[in-house]
A and B are shown apart, each in its own frame.
Chain A
Amino acid sequence: MQLMEGEKEQIISCVDEVLSNSTKEKEDLIPILQKVQARLGYLPALAMEKIAEGTDVPTVDVYGLATFYNQFRLNPPGDHEVKVCLGTACYMVGGDITLESFERRMEINEGETTSDRRYSLERVACVGCCTMAPVVVVDDEVEGKVTPTRVDGIMLELEGKNGKSGDNNSSNAGQNTGSKDDPTKEVGEQK
């Protein structure tokens, strides 16, 4: 996953801070990883390298730990997070087919994030509403009886939201910069 502008500095300062508040012992590795993930939302390769350096553990062991536990994610959460349930009930009625449809639509594998960071896809084990199987959680909203056709629908809705939120963001950003610029201009003019 390509790092975004300024992300590198953010990762380094985050890891440094977490490490400075820890014992830097091997036993402390899991809490360190948890804290870094809580701040960054995921564990970038750079963070794992820095943690390995700080705790004097081979980088591959940090990677081993991060890939062993389900709680750690190696890819950043997307703007829209899709979680496909593969609990017993969902699996029995074809949750894996639903997951596959998402993988095909997003052109990524389970556990990954699209390169534009719009979507991330995860599998979960039981959301708690098995009567609606197969269940998918899209940005904290539960969708029931998700067939591959419904997957297309969900993706269309998300694409629609993207357009809107994208516009909103850009207009907001425009307003913000405008309002920031204006006072200085005024000040400048006044002076």
Chain B
Amino acid sequence: MSELVKITIDDREIEARVGDKLLWTALENDIYIPHLCSIKDEKRPNASCRLCFVEIEGVDHPVTSCTRKVEEGMVVKTRSQRIDRLVKTGFELLLSDHDLKCAQCAANRKCALQTIAKERRIKLRQKRFKLIERDYEIDDSPAEFAYNRSRCVLCGQCVWADREEAKVGAIGFTQRGINRAVTTFEEIPLADSICTECHLCVDACPVGALYYKSDLK
């Protein structure tokens, strides 16, 4: 129904639907742009992970590709010095309070953070920011899965799954600033909350914050 136009991403001509988000158009054409928080069906993206920056010809500053819609004749670049700098800073900030024990993590080798690090050649162990060590208690109350808050990147994928797919509303964003977290009401264990243990949130988690107990060796 929507109009097909030609745009250029990294010198490659691509046919895209007008109004689609740039990030998803690129990903569908096997052009990798780092991303954590973007949800394809979300009408108003959070744009909170600050990793999907691209440069568009005629636009002064790098923009987040998850919020930018496809327009006819767009010329997009996914790499530049400015983009790399922004992405590196955003990524390092995310890792500055991340529990980096990949070997003991259920998401090891399939973690979105590891993918980004590999694609953009950024080290997982950053030294630029002071490391904040998180030692939240692991919530292993559900039968099949567990939640390690210290590994959460606050992307909101699990909250979306909980609200839009499972239609439960057991988890959400709480607290503020450095204490921001995904928790239940009053921060009670998941099993004591209204959580139905449908584990759609576990499937949605791009890192090892929500994981199946069986994946942990």
Contact = CB atoms under 8 A, between A and B. Distances in A.
A108 B172 CA distance: 26
B187 to A, nearest CB: 8
B32 interface: no
Q: How large is the interface on B (under 10, 10 to 19, 20 to 34, 35 or more residues)?
A: 10 to 19
Interface string A47-60: 01100000000111
Interface string A21-62: 000000000000000000000000100110000000011111
A91 interface: no
Contacts of A58: 163, 169-170, 172, 185
Nearest to A57: B169
A61 B172 contact: yes
* Secondary structure type dominating chain A contacts: helix
Contacts of A183: none
Contacts of A59: 169, 185, 194
B186 A64 contact: no
Which among B170, B173, B183, B184 has the greatest number of chain A C-beta atoms within 10 A? Answer: B173
B186 A63 contact: yes
B174 interface: yes
B176 A67 contact: yes
B163 A68 contact: no
A61 B171 CA distance: 8
A59 B163 CA distance: 12
A63 B185 contact: yes
What 7 pairs across the A-B complex have the smallest Cβ distances?
A58-B169, A60-B172, A59-B185, A64-B174, A60-B185, A68-B176, A67-B175
Interface of B: 163, 169-176, 183-186, 194
Interface of A: 45, 48-49, 58-64, 67-69
23 contacts: A45-B185, A49-B185, A58-B163, A58-B170, A58-B172, A58-B185, A59-B169, A60-B171, A60-B172, A60-B174, A60-B184, A61-B172, A63-B172, A63-B174, A63-B186, A64-B174, A64-B175, A67-B174, A67-B175, A67-B176, A68-B174, A68-B175, A68-B176
